[in-house]
Chain A
Amino acid sequence: MYSSVCSGALNGMSAYIADVEVDTTRGLPGFDMVGKLSGEVKEARERVRVALKNCDMDVPPLKITVNISPADISKSGTAFDLPIAVGIMVSTGRIPADRCKDMMLIGELGLMGDIRAVSGVLPMVIKARDSGIGSCMVPQDNAMEAAYVNGIRIIAVRTLSDAVAALLNEEILNELVFRRDGSAVKECREEKRYDYADMIGQEACIRAATVAAAGFHHMLIFGPPGAGKTMIAKRLPSIMQPLNEAESLEVSTIYSISGLLDKERPYITQRPFLSPHHTATASSLAGGGAYSRPGIMSLSHKGILFMDEFPEFDRECIEVLREPLEDKRIQISRARSTLTYPADFMLVAASNPCPCGHYPDRNLCNCSDRMIARYRSRISAPIKDRIDIIVSASRVEADRLIGDSEDKRSKKRRSTSSAELAVKVSRALNIQRERFRGMEFAYNSEIPSGSIEKYCRLGKTETEYMKNVYDAMELTARSYHKILKVARTIADIDEKEVIGIEHLGEAISYRGDI
């Protein structure tokens, strides 16, 4: 007998509806699976057979053929276990066919019939809802994640026996319907945050970080070891605006595909912060592999990609940043397929100023000029061109760190809190949102060079000032544009319509002449 149940599968960032067709006939007993399936999908055969047996639902000695359509897209993952098992039950007549109608089934089976979490549930459930499917049966551990999709009934199951029971009995099914709990969303928002108030010194870097966050500018921090470059970067999400609903869904989808969502708090509301080690490979950053997965650059979508010891990364890793920095997405082309993942992140790179880390303090640094130039040349010009803000961090001196409480300086020891800075950032971002309404870009850092004149207009005095600076500092056209964009952001923080000399002066100090 023939049966068909509905399941979901992933192709890059998007999910599609996959129909699991099962046919059982008399003949030589066997179990065949077709539909361009990868290894782990084919192994479902053994998992399903044993799980059914252990749930007292023996597979009869029949010839079983499973086809997962559309049969021309390669499929991976273990989400087909549950639909295959249910499909067999339907085609052998133990579950009425109409009970599975209008329902998507997702889940991996253990040998004892337990149903385990799979990745990519979020986009699959969204797809199901959008295709007009009324309910979706998911593993209990994925229920929270699935429940964020409104307008579809989520049935959470723990074991295959539960699943079968629910499909046979409407009452049991109703008991298993998972209801979204309001408090869960709130809980997700209250994760532990780092705060700039924890920092001592580095006021200039914190200010630069504020400007960077306010205009989504990429940033490069130079400084000796132990200067607090990482601390500055780690606190950036604390001053950025929280993800909005759409962004949150997008980021959660990426994490869902990668199987990285927490089962208790499966919704990403904070801006991601990723700091790959400098031994990372280019494909771990970009994503890909035989069955493509999002890379670190996509996991930092809408958040921060922090690359410490930037020049120590492989050249290939640094160059692979080019496309996402330009297009805000990464395209992975393999022999079998081409996939596109979003990768709209803010790059924060940190570097020593020279191989030993102490330049320009010649008392500590004995690196030759040539060594320094070679070290810095590992950050290639096209990457430097995309980085608007360059600052240097210095090691905090002992008296400041330990500081006598009676010292009047101690009042100034602590930095401004993240909450205060977040207000400034938010203000600037709201202005930009208004300004760029209906445009294809959202931040000052993304203003195309053709529109710089329009958005970063300078008055007469300011133009004169910039002319002087342009000559005195021997700026290039590109660095001139960078300065204007950063000045625009600083003016937005000040809620000024017109860019003033004070804004330009500060922006120029971030130009980083390296």
Chain B
Amino acid sequence: MNGITNELIKREINYLTREDDGFPERLKRIPSSPKGIYYMGELPDENVPSVAIIGARNCSGYGRQMAREFALEIAGAGIQVISGMAMGVDGIAQNAALSAGGRSFAVLGGGVDICYPAENAKLYERLLDNGAVISEYAPGTPTIGRNFASRNRIISGLSDAVLVIEARQRSGTLITVGFALDQGKDVYALPGRVNDSLSLGCNELIKDGAYPLIRPYDFVCEFMDRYAMLRSEDGNEPHDDEKRLLKKTVNDVKATDIRRFDINAGKKQGGRSEGLRFLSTKERLIISVLDHRPKTVSEIFYDLSDRDDISITELLGLLTDMTVKHKIDCIDGMNYCIRS
């Protein structure tokens, strides 16, 4: 036993049982609470709100962009971001949260000493510095598929609300949502177009009563109100930290939010937004037919054909030029979509 403990200390892996001090209060309250958790880094602060941002591994450009924007706003407001460090939405949201200077926590489906998926090795390192990786499985446990479902209950368990960015029907993401509802957590979902298979899960959730996510700032305000209400219902006076946070949210976040949405602000004043000011007429036309879904040049050409007499060679040149100037995104060097 001593040997194992030594090994844990050497690798800076901590272990807490449910009875130990410091075991997350939130986890104690959920059904089938884990007996103990292993973690590397620092556990989430009990007195700081936390939300889970989850979604599809193979997300679309839309999902990628929205995961980033919401995570930036949320982490910027000082809220902790919980997720599963998976490819796609999970990893993107956690990376963005850390970039915004926030803290983020990953719950893994295997031992905390194993970085899964290996592609997220950089994120794994960053999480150790500004958050933690957490698991109920002993170090060295390989990551296997069936562990994911049960680790999902910890993701929702550690959070005060769950945000779903993109989810297909019958996906792992919806399993987490199921746990969240069982645990009495609020569920927010990002609406999408009704014929997008990646938004089907989210749209269904909204139909079933989930809060729709429209603007990051609105979410933060709404969530903080809810959070304060829930805490007082529980008989907890807002902690000092929280009071500070609430204030910060209302004052500071508003400023960043306005900056982020200056495209809309600009439109209201009848002016042109910063980003689109330097586009030529043709470039603006091209952007108008682009989408989050990458299109081939032939598709773009066709979409333009009833608006402009642009030749295919001119279009190819323009697309290259706009890619170089980062006005649009180019996938695989041959498909184009709007910048996310």
A469 contact from B58, B294, B302, B324, Cβ within 8 A = B324
Query: Chain A contacts of B87 at CB under 8 A?
Result: 368-369
Task: Check A366/B312 contact, CB under 8 A, given A361-B293, A512-B332, A513-B330.
Answer: no
Nearest residue, chain A, Cβ from B334: A392
Does B168 touch A at the CB level, under 8 Å? yes
Task: Check A390/B302 contact, CB under 8 A, given A367-B58, A369-B58, A502-B314.
Answer: no
Task: Check A514/B301 contact, CB under 8 A, given A360-B294, A502-B313.
Answer: no
B313 contact from A370, A409, A506, A513, Cβ within 8 A = A506
Does B297 touch A at the CB level, under 8 Å? yes
Query: Chain B contacts of A390 at CB under 8 A?
Result: 333-334
Asked if A207 contacts B313 (CB within 8 A), the reply is: yes
Complex Cα distance, B331 from A408, in Å, reads 31
Asked if A363 contacts B58 (CB within 8 A), the reply is: no
Asked if B319 contacts A509 (CB within 8 A), the reply is: yes
Does B6 touch A at the CB level, under 8 Å? no
For B59, B195, B197, B298, the residue with the greatest tally of chain A CB atoms inside 10 Å of its CB is B298
Nearest residue, chain B, Cβ from A512: B333
CB neighbors of A among B106-148 (8 A): 117, 119
Does A148 touch B at the CB level, under 8 Å? no
Complex Cα distance, B326 from A361, in Å, reads 21
**Closest chain A CB from B290 CB (angstroms):** 13
Does B335 touch A at the CB level, under 8 Å? yes
Query: Chain A contacts of B305 at CB under 8 A?
Result: 409, 412
Asked if B298 contacts A368 (CB within 8 A), the reply is: no
Interface size class of A (residues with CB under 8 A): 35 or more
Asked if B296 contacts A204 (CB within 8 A), the reply is: yes
Query: Chain A contacts of B25 at CB under 8 A?
Result: none
Task: Check A508/B320 contact, CB under 8 A, given A364-B197, A369-B87.
Answer: yes
For B117, B293, B317, B337, the residue with the greatest tally of chain A CB atoms inside 10 Å of its CB is B317
B318 contact from A223, A472, A505, Cβ within 8 A = A505
CB neighbors of A among B43-70 (8 A): 56-61, 63
Q: How many A-B residue pairs have CB under 8 A?
A: 123
Query: Chain B contacts of A505 at CB under 8 A?
Result: 316-318, 320-321
Complex Cα distance, B317 from A509, in Å, reads 7
Query: Chain B contacts of A138 at CB under 8 A?
Result: none
Asked if B320 contacts A506 (CB within 8 A), the reply is: yes
Asked if B324 contacts A473 (CB within 8 A), the reply is: yes
Asked if B298 contacts A204 (CB within 8 A), the reply is: yes
Asked if A363 contacts B119 (CB within 8 A), the reply is: no
Does A129 touch B at the CB level, under 8 Å? no
Asked if B306 contacts A408 (CB within 8 A), the reply is: yes
Query: Chain A contacts of B330 at CB under 8 A?
Result: 513
Does A468 touch B at the CB level, under 8 Å? yes
Asked if B320 contacts A353 (CB within 8 A), the reply is: no
Does A120 touch B at the CB level, under 8 Å? no
Asked if A509 contacts B302 (CB within 8 A), the reply is: no
Query: Chain B contacts of A510 at CB under 8 A?
Result: 334
Does B37 touch A at the CB level, under 8 Å? no
CB neighbors of B among A372-394 (8 A): 390-394
* Beyond A222-B334, A223-B296, 20 additional pairs, beta carbon < 8 A: A201-B302, A203-B301, A203-B312, A204-B298, A205-B298, A207-B313, A360-B337, A363-B60, A363-B198, A365-B58, A390-B333, A393-B296, A397-B302, A502-B314, A505-B317, A505-B320, A506-B317, A509-B316, A509-B333, A512-B334
List of 9 A-B pairs having minimum Cβ-Cβ separation, nearest first:
A513-B333, A505-B317, A204-B297, A362-B60, A394-B296, A392-B334, A360-B294, A505-B320, A509-B316
A-B contact pairs, 11 of them (CB 8 A): A203-B298, A207-B312, A360-B335, A362-B59, A394-B296, A502-B314, A505-B321, A509-B297, A512-B334, A513-B332, A513-B334
